[in-house]
Amino acid sequence: MALVTKVEHKVSKEHFDRVAVGLRAELLQLQEQLKSQDFPVVLLFAGAAVAGKTEALNTINEWMDPRWIETHAYGPPSDEERERPEYWRFWRDLPPRGRIGLTLGSWYHQRVQDFVYDRIDKPTYFQALKRIAAFERTLTDDGVLLLKFWMHMDEADQKKVMKKLQKSKTDAWRISKSDWKHFKHNRAFERANEIAIKKTNVAAAPWIIIDGLDARYRTLEILTTIRDALKAHIRLRSNRRKLAEKARERTNRVRDAELRAAPAEQESAARGKNGSLDAAASKRSAARQPTILDKLDMSLSLTDKAYHTAIQDSRAELGDLCRKLHFAGKSALVLFEGPDAAGKGGAIRRLTAAMDARDYRVIPIAAPTDEERARHYLWRFWRQLPRAGRIAIFDRSWYGRVLVERVENFAQVDEWQRAYTEIREFEEQLSASGLVVVKFWVHIDKDEQHRRFKEREKSSLKSWKLTPEDWRNRAKWDDYSRAVDEMVERTSTPSSPWTIVEGNCKKHARIKVMKTLCDALKKAVLADRE
């Protein structure tokens, strides 16, 4: 293996003691600084069994303040983990911003072993490494400082250390039968590792190869690397924040200028005086490009009679399919997006009325909690993934990133632009794990929304549903249309396509939702039987 040319890396006790004191003080101070930073640190350790991975974790915990460090070592998954997509457990354990996560037997371990022991073929292995690279990119794009340490030790040295440990009274427990078994396949492991390292060695998350033979050398190497990287990353993020701040100011200036250009229209829109609103909107829409939403046949409707027959049939079918899904141990995820008052809630209630309350969970997406805000925006959705046999229904979803966050400038341009890829990858993982993903955009046109808002204002039972924000969102109708157009275009995939539901007629919309879901579940249940 050519990763490391064999050089004697040794550090004397005197040198170590001299350097260690200052290094430790620096690390503690950096850790203190980190607490108020907007990113977490993930340190990953991989490599030969006896090359010092565990010792590295222990030293970091000893030198730094263990209260702000989380250590996660991955063995076989628990049954709650097995019932979800592979990466659920890694997402679940991601540290919040300001903290350090240490990872052992990480997302690499299982896959490397699978390949070495011929449980997967080469293309599958490559695919798995691609998934790893994508996962790590998702983290680093979000600002995570990800350092991957590869503890290296050549075969002869490994053998020596293992034999020595085995003879030791206090350390013999560390060498198990499976360690020797793995060791017999050392060549194969080296090959597999070399591929893994090559395929996942990117600038944002490079591999740091550490010669594991000398304990003092490797300790100093690892800890100075952490110190330098942490220092640099804090500086980098602070610069980025400043740039982002400037960009935001610029955007706001442009918007303010626009507002000054058409003050009356905008203001009345914001205040909910909607007479002039539609005039303003139609003036703007004159210039705009047609979107996918313009091509919908919004006149689609159902008679009462047709609806009642259809809803009863669909209800029976859906109930039956959900039961089959449950007994097959498969899970499903249904999500709803759409303008305010489009009837998402009503459609959801027609679905759940057909299901057993023990099998589904409706997850309304509003403002994130502070635990959610402290992590990647996808974390809050990962944590809600259903167990085997269950159905999760999302009332709004991760698509907020490319809808409201885009339109309202909550996310920066590069953030929502890369979200298309992140979301595609996320949903691919769900589908790959056997989870059925069904996505609905329930649409209404502007006139219909106006009618429903007015109705809500009048109805005492529904008036709480209407807020000034609804009127504000309405003023940005065209911006939303563009965002929806791009979203559907970029995130409709064979395994999780968008279904656009013409929602002016609630009856039509509800039946279309029911039937689409039935078709998707039927396919899944049938596929499972084959």
Residues that bind its own copies (CB under 8 A): 25, 28-29, 32, 54, 57-58, 60-62, 65-71, 73, 78-80, 102, 104, 170, 173, 316, 320, 323, 345, 348-349, 352-353, 355-358, 360-364, 369-371, 395, 461, 464
Rounded to a whole number of angstroms, the minimum distance from the CB of residue 429 to its own copies is 21
Query: How far is 120 from 111, CA to CA, in rounded Å?
Result: 8
- CB of 13 vs its own copies, minimal distance in Å: 17
Q: Which long-range contacts (CB under 8 A, 24 or more apart) does 106-115 make?
A: 106/44, 106/45, 106/46, 106/74, 107/132, 107/135, 108/44, 108/46, 108/132, 108/196, 108/200, 109/46, 109/74, 110/74, 111/196, 112/189, 112/192, 112/193, 112/196, 115/192
Q: Angle at Cα 91 formed by Cα 80 and Cα 328, nearest 5°?
A: 35
Please spell the DSSP secondary structure of 353-405, one letter per residue: TTS-TTTEEEEE--SPPHHHHTS-TTHHHHTTPPPTT-EEEEES-GGGGGTHH
Q: With respect to its own copies, which residue has the nearer C-beta, 104 or 525?
A: 104
**Identity of the residue, 270 or 362, whose beta carbon is nearer to its own copies in the bound complex:** 362
- Compute the radius of gyration of the chain from its Cα atoms: 28
Between 75 and 275, name the residue whose CB sits nearer to its own copies.
Answer: 75
Shortest distance in whole angstroms from residue 223 CB to its own copies = 14
Nearer CB in complex with its own copies: 352/409: 352
Smallest distance from its own copies to CB 321, Å: 13
Count helices and strands in the chain by DSSP H and E runs: 22, 10
Give, for 275, the enclosing helix (H) or strand (E). Answer: helix 275-285
Nearer to its own copies, 465 or 490 (CB): 465
Q: Which amino acid is at 217?
A: Y
Q: DSSP for 76-130, please give it.
A: SPPHHHHTS-TTHHHHHTPPPTT-EEEEES-TTHHHHHHHHTTSS-HHHHHHHHH
In sequence order, the β-bridge partners of residue 71 are 102
Shortest distance, position 352 Cβ to its own copies, whole Å: 5
**Three-state SS at 146:** strand
Q: How far is the CB of 514 from its own copies (least distance, A)?
A: 15
Nearest-approach distance from CB 365 to its own copies, in angstroms: 10
| Residue 72 or 152 with smaller CB distance to its own copies | 72
- Alpha carbon distance 260, 525 (integer Å): 57
**Bridge partner residues of 333 (DSSP):** 392, 437
Question: Rounded to the nearest whole angstrom, what is the least distance from the CB of residue 65 to its own copies in the complex?
Answer: 7
Stated as kind and residue range, the H or E segment containing 43 is strand 41-47
CB 75 to its own copies: min, Å: 9
Report how far residue 335's alpha carbon sits from residue 308's, in angstroms, rounded to the nearest whole number. 24
Please say which residue, 173 or 304, places its beta carbon nearer to its own copies: 173
Are 324 and 389 in contact by the 8 Å Cβ rule? The answer is: no
Between residues 284 and 361, which has the closer beta carbon with respect to its own copies?
361
Contact status, residue 234 vs residue 240, Cβ threshold 8 Å: no
CB of 391 to its own copies, least distance (A): 12
Task: Tally the residues of the chain.
Answer: 530
Please state the closest distance from residue 342 (CB atom) to its own copies, in A. 15
Looking at the DSSP assignment, which residues form a beta bridge with residue 183?
Answer: none
Q: How far is the CB of 285 from its own copies (least distance, A)?
A: 33
Which is closer to its own copies, CB of 293 or CB of 318? 318
What CA–CA distance (Å, rounded) separates 52 from 60?
12
Alpha helices by DSSP H, 121-214: 122-141, 155-167, 177-184, 186-199
CA atoms of 266 and 280, how far apart (whole Å): 8
Residue nearer to its own copies on the CB measure, 54 or 412:
54
Nearer to its own copies, 241 or 349 (CB): 349
Of 389, 382, 503, whose CA–CA distance to 445 is shortest? 503
Q: Which two tokens stand for residue 461?
A: 């039972």
- Closer residue to its own copies, CB minimum distance, 278 or 372: 372
